[in-house]
Amino acid sequence: MDETQKKEIHKKLMHEIDNTQKKIAEYTELCKPIAPENSIGRISRMDAINNKSVVEAALREAENKMQQLQVMQHKIKDTDFGMCNKCKQNIPLGRLMIRPHSKFCVNCAQ
C-alpha cells in the first residue's frame, strides 16, 4: 500500500472517528433515564423503556466501533497496515474506504 492510499484511508478514518463520536454523544443523551414524575402514561413508558434498550445496544456497538477505529488509527503507520490478519493478503482499498476498521479481507471476514 503506497503513501497516497494511506493518506486517503487516514482521512476516511478520521471522518469515521468524528461521526462515531457524534453518534456516541447522541446515544448517551438518549439513554438517560426517564424520571418517574413525568406522566407519560403506562404504555408510553413501556415504549420508552423498549426504545432505551435499543439505543443502549446501538451505543455499545458505536463504542466498539470507536475502539476498533482508534486501534486502526495507531496501526496505519505500520508496514503491514492493510493486510488481512488471517490470510496476510492485501485488503482491497475499496473495502478499507467503506470500512476503515477492517482487519480482514472480504473472503476471510465471512
What pTM was estimated for this model as a whole?
0.78
Describe the crossing of helices 42-75 and 3-30 by its angle, rounded to 10 degrees. 160
- From first to last of the 110 residues of the chain, give the pLDDT tens digit: 778 888 999 999 999 999 999 999 999 998 887 666 656 666 777 787 888 889 999 999 999 999 999 999 998 888 888 899 999 999 999 999 999 889 999 999 88
pLDDT at 1: 72
Q: Are 69 and 100 in contact (CB under 8 A)?
A: yes
Residues present in the chain in total: 110
The ranges assigned to domains in the chain are: 3-80
